[in-house]
Amino acid sequence: MKIKILLVCALLSMCVSLVFAQSFGQKQRALRPHEYGNVTMNNSSEKNDIAPVVFNHWLHRAIYTCRICHVDLGFAMKGGATGVTEDDNKRGIYCGACHNGKEAFGPEGKDVVGKPVKNCYRCHSFGKKVKFEKDFYEYTKNYPKSRFGNKVDWLKVEEAGTIRLKDYLEGITIKRKPLTMTKNIDVKSKELGMPDIIFSHQKHTIWNGCELCHPEIFGAKKGSTKYTMQDVFDGKFCGSCHGKVAFPNNDCQICHTKEV
């Protein structure tokens, strides 16, 4: 009898644990600053017996605009949705548009004595102890700091001219006139006591252009797109970037800045 009672209690405990886990989720460790924004690309790597690619957003965003990759090169906004293959890279599309030995390192390079070496694990680094050419903490040590994400205030870094974002790839980017920076937009907060949002078109167009947001994520007409903060937390609309690569959503005061 005691054994049966113990078994019943154990089963009830497991059921309660599963219900709470499904209702409230599981706590995960906080990402380290150099990990924030990283995307693991594994569409075909393990199938071909090689480690998955770890794409570090922090270094690419320090050199290029987001628009270069997500508009000109056609990368989807969702990790893994593009389905990049090694053949694609060899044809000079996606990663291969830059990683060709000219714009950035290619699949093969040369060591200090000129001997050919393969660069596979500079990208296919998941689970590998790879010493990268640029260390995040050394690279960003003098950058203005923020509280969350990479712990780097990328807006101030760009504004100060510390980085100069490249927004053009020869033979790929269509030449266009400089964008006209529109005025800031007030976005009404629906939460009692929460300041309204002051949305900076200027900052977003520097990094994204117009095409990255409009019309796929936001409609072209002001006020035509309806969304909630829960949508943002779920990775939609503003959450397409914020919480994944751009500063995370728990840094409320960066967006909700209008005086109450």
Predicted pLDDT of residue 6:
44
Instruction: Report how far apart, in Å, the C-alpha atoms of 149 and of each of 57, 157, 158 are.
Output: 12, 15, 17
- Count: domains in the chain: 2
94 lies in a domain?
yes
81 lies in a domain?
yes
Cα-Cα-Cα-Cα dihedral of 161, 251, 186, 258, to 10°?
-100
Residues 99 and 156 in one domain: yes
Predicted pLDDT of residue 28:
75
d(CA 208, CA 65): 6
Over its length of 260 residues, how does the chain's per-residue pLDDT go in tens digits? 545 444 434 444 544 444 444 445 566 788 999 999 999 999 999 999 999 999 999 999 999 999 999 999 999 998 889 999 999 999 999 999 999 999 999 999 888 888 999 999 999 999 999 989 999 999 999 999 999 999 999 999 999 999 999 999 999 999 888 777 778 888 888 888 889 999 999 999 999 999 999 999 999 888 889 999 999 999 999 999 999 999 998 888 899 988 76
Predicted pLDDT of residue 191:
82
Residues 129 and 189 in one domain: no
260 lies in a domain?
yes
Predicted pLDDT of residue 5:
45
Predicted pLDDT of residue 3:
53
Please give the residue range of the domain that contains residue 132. 28-175
Last residue of a domain, one of 151, 175, 199: 175
54 lies in a domain?
yes
Residues 60 and 170 in one domain: yes
First to last CA, the chain: 65
What pTM, to 2 d.p., does this model score?
A: 0.83
Last residue of a domain, one of 126, 141, 175: 175
Last residue of a domain, one of 142, 175, 208: 175
Alpha-helical segments (H) within the chain: 2-24, 57-61, 66-67, 86-90, 120-123, 136-139, 154-159, 201-208, 229-233, 252-255
CB atoms within 10 A of CB 52: 20
Residues 165 and 184 in one domain: no
Which one-letter amino acid corresponds to residue 254?
I
Instruction: Report how far apart, in Å, the C-alpha atoms of 34 and of each of 134, 137, 182, 235, 253 are.
Output: 11, 8, 33, 21, 23
Residue 66 maps to which CATH number?
A: 3.90.10.10
Residues 166 and 247 in one domain: no
Residues 184 and 162 in one domain: no
37 lies in a domain?
yes
DSSP-assigned states of every residue in 21-73? HHHH----PPPPTTTTT-EEE-SSTGGGTSPPEEE-HHHHHTTB-HHIIIIIS
Residues 130 and 157 in one domain: yes
